[in-house]
Structure 1
Amino acid sequence: MGSADIVPGVSGGTLALIVGIYTRLINAIKSFDTRFFKQVVTLKFRDAFNEVHWKFMGVLLAGIFCAILFFTKVVPLQVYMFTNPELVYGLFFGLIVGSIFVLIKAIEGFSWVHGLMVLIGAGIGFWVVTLVPADTPESPWFVFISGSIAICAMILPGISGSYFLLILRKYDYILAQFGKLGTSETTAGLLSLLPFVAGAVVGLVLFSRLLSWLLSRYEAKTLAVLIGFLIGSLYVIWPYQDRTFEQIVSKTEVVAYNSSEAQTLRDDPPDQNRPEFRRLGETMNPDGAQKEVEVLTVKNKLIKSDPFIPYLTVQEAGTDRFWSGIWGIVIGLIMVMGLDYLRTET
């Protein structure tokens, strides 16, 4: 489930269905009710934990956390989104398109009413993503809201929570904070993740009950609106986009001109397409005995993103960028078809 939740387009809820723990998962989430929190506040910890499925949730969350660390440390998606955007976003696009067809297939007796709901959802989705700027705030309140929205989507079969983080432009930011864990920036990463975790908890406690109620009474119509939302917001992850970045210096250090760090940066210039890199700045006291140089930590911040259609609007069509996007889309579609096959077989 952790691997599914971290990849936009693959649903953790779908994986829970495949391995046969979805009902148990929903019941475990519902067990964290007002009674549990009242017992915690009154320091009745034994009674509180006897009320909830804490062993199941503890082991499940540990597995999810391990998968998140894998995709931020071993296979750092937040880096590849900058260095190989066509391939990564192509993969995400294929996963979402495949999920849309899977969800449509799940609606029995698709009628004009469902079609209308899809159109309404598509309109809402397009409206929302056009309102969301290329650069959203990293303030705790916005990260909190992002966590609340993403966690609700993560528990729905066929709907990807990570995709909603992409729409809110917080996907790479959250992955980057997880990537800081275990480094010298662990404390900063944890502090940045606290609002996200708090939002996820609130989202689970409050919104999961509303979603459960909607799905139990209006399952087909709710799914139709969600399908429309996915369709309307697709252009956000279209792999072929002219992305404009602003380079922001987040940290400045001064080291000896002949230090090993400065020499390494001279001999091996950094890849400036990465989300964050270090490069040499101004030389200090160039004619003095103690010559020094600035080492700058630079962050790439997306400020503008304009979709284009290869072969129609640019001359780069047919290059590696073009084929990377195509292969990403194909791989994403194959992955979703494979997961859907496993789900139907079980």
Structure 2
Amino acid sequence: MEWKNIYRGFLMGVSDLIPGVSGGTIAFLLGIYDRLLTSISGFFSREWKKHLGFLVPLAIGMGITIVVFSRVIDYLLKNYEQPTHFFFIGLIIGVIPFITKQAGVKKNFKIGHFLLLFVVAVALATTNFIKPVDVTVITTLSFQNALGLFFAGWLGSMAMLLPGVSGSFILLLLGVYATVINALSTFNLPIIITVGAGVAVGFIVSSKAIHYLLTHYTHSMFAVIIGLIIGSIVVIYPGLPESGTPFVMSIIALIMGLIVANMFDNVKQ
């Protein structure tokens, strides 16, 4: 078992609780993105056993974090929304140089790749202006809302694996983010299981698709990924902080995010 993946799962779990922040981005930052896709895809094959050592500690870290820190994240977003978002903006900005280096942008990108990057970044950024569905917290299941929650989990998990696209943000747009956070905070097992089933199915489908595209259309996929990451900065940008304490806290949080990104970039290997 690769027990160091517990702390990696911890970081990915925290990021997936923040609307606009992607666990895929954190996986890229930690240098495990390719292996994550390979392991998830391989887990649903005949060679599933060899991927357990990588996935189980990662899942433990993510699971514990999502359950334990759902209330913490909810508290931070309610009381320190701007500093929290600026910390993750720092993380996202910090990962861009690593990804561009890994993609070999200067050597491999043509005009078409830069155009694709730009279009994807703008497309994601414009989602910031989409009004989320009216929020009604679901506490009991019916066939109709169970189906909706299942597919919401499916779409959210597909977003989780794409750097720059937040599964939580997708849930927010679909109007079920508050329901999921409430279910995690109150241990509402029927809702957790329903959304979790959708997440599992989404992981199976999307991991295989993304792995295939990265293998056969590597440079184009890197252009898409970099575009998604850049666009996500606009999505989670909380606005310019007021002068005084909020401004200082946000600047410090931004710098901390950059420092943390640099630290993980140095130790990811």
TM-score (normalizing by structure 1) = 0.59
Name 1:98's counterpart in structure 2. Answer: 94
Name 2:122's counterpart in structure 1. Answer: 123
**1:165 aligned to 2:163?**
no
- The higher relative CO (CA closer than 8 Å, separation ≥ 6) is in 2
Equivalent-residue separation in structure 2 for 1:130 and 1:218 (angstroms): 30
Cα pair 1:95 1:335 within 8 Å, conserved: yes
1:135-214 map, 5 Å: 135=134, 139-155=145-161, 159=163, 163-166=166-169, 168-169=171-172, 173-181=179-187, 189-214=188-213
Equivalent-residue separation in structure 2 for 1:165 and 1:153 (angstroms): 9
Structure 1 pair 135/336, CA: closer, same or farther in 2 (3 Å)?
Answer: farther
Structure 1 pair 87/61, CA: closer, same or farther in 2 (3 Å)?
Answer: same
Structure 1 pair 340/180, CA: closer, same or farther in 2 (3 Å)?
Answer: same
Computing the radius of gyration over CA atoms, which structure comes out larger, 1 or 2?
A: 1
Equivalent-residue separation in structure 2 for 1:69 and 1:232 (angstroms): 28
Name 1:342's counterpart in structure 2. Answer: 267
What is the Cα deviation at residue 166 of structure 1? 2.8
How many residue pairs are counted as aligned between the two chains? Answer: 240
1:329 to 245, 250, 254: 254
Structure 1 pair 136/94, CA: closer, same or farther in 2 (3 Å)?
Answer: farther
Cα pair 1:93 1:239 within 8 Å, conserved: no
Equivalent-residue separation in structure 2 for 1:94 and 1:168 (angstroms): 23
RMSD value over aligned CA atoms?
3.1
Sequence identity of aligned pairs in percent? Answer: 24
Cα pair 2:9 2:62 within 8 Å, conserved: yes
SS at match of 2:238: coil
Cα pair 2:44 2:204 within 8 Å, conserved: yes
What is the Cα deviation at residue 224 of structure 1? 1.1
One-letter amino acid matched to 1:13: A
1:33-48 map, 5 Å: 33=45
Equivalent-residue separation in structure 1 for 2:225 and 2:157 (angstroms): 15
2:42 to 6, 30, 42: 30
Structure 1 pair 130/25, CA: closer, same or farther in 2 (3 Å)?
Answer: closer
Name 1:260's counterpart in structure 2. Answer: none
What is the Cα deviation at residue 221 of structure 1? 1.2
1:146-173, Cα deviation, whole Å (9 max, x unpaired): 43244345446xx266x33135426565
Structure 1 pair 22/111, CA: closer, same or farther in 2 (3 Å)?
Answer: closer
Structure 1 pair 136/126, CA: closer, same or farther in 2 (3 Å)?
Answer: farther
SS at match of 1:331: helix
1:320-342, Cα deviation, whole Å (9 max, x unpaired): 12222212211111111111122
1:45-85, Cα deviation, whole Å (9 max, x unpaired): xxxxxx63285344542333223234236xx1111100111
Stretches of structure 2 lacking an aligned partner (at least 5 in a row): 1-7, 16-20, 138-144
1:197-346 map, 5 Å: 197-240=196-239, 309=240, 317-343=242-268, 346=269
Name 1:65's counterpart in structure 2. Answer: 63
